[in-house]
Amino acid sequence: MSTMDVKSWIELFELVGVDKAGRQRWHAEFERRYPEGHQSFLEWLGLDKAHIDEVRAGSRKTA
């Protein structure tokens, strides 16, 4: 069994029709509703702290 990573997650989103703009909206809503969960999710995907901070900051701008 392979592990989930960012590439796998993006592929899964694309398979179900979620494009880049949709993923950005998803992150923004995740950050707005569940900031601690968003942090945990990004850590689970294996992102480093700098990348997590970047994704979360961008998500707050989009929301």
- Model confidence pLDDT, tens digit, residues 8-50: 999 999 999 999 999 999 999 999 999 999 999 999 999 999 9
CA angle 2, 14, 27 (to 5 degrees): 90
pLDDT at 15: 97
Q: Left (φ > 0), alpha (ψ -120 to 50) or beta: where does 2 sit?
A: beta
Q: pTM here?
A: 0.86
Task: Locate the domains of the chain by residue range.
Answer: 20-62
Q: 54 with 62: CB under 8 angstroms?
A: no
Q: 5 with 46: CB under 8 angstroms?
A: yes
Collapsed DSSP state (helix, strand, coil) of residue 11: helix
When computed from its CA atoms, the radius of gyration of the chain, rounded to whole angstroms, is 12
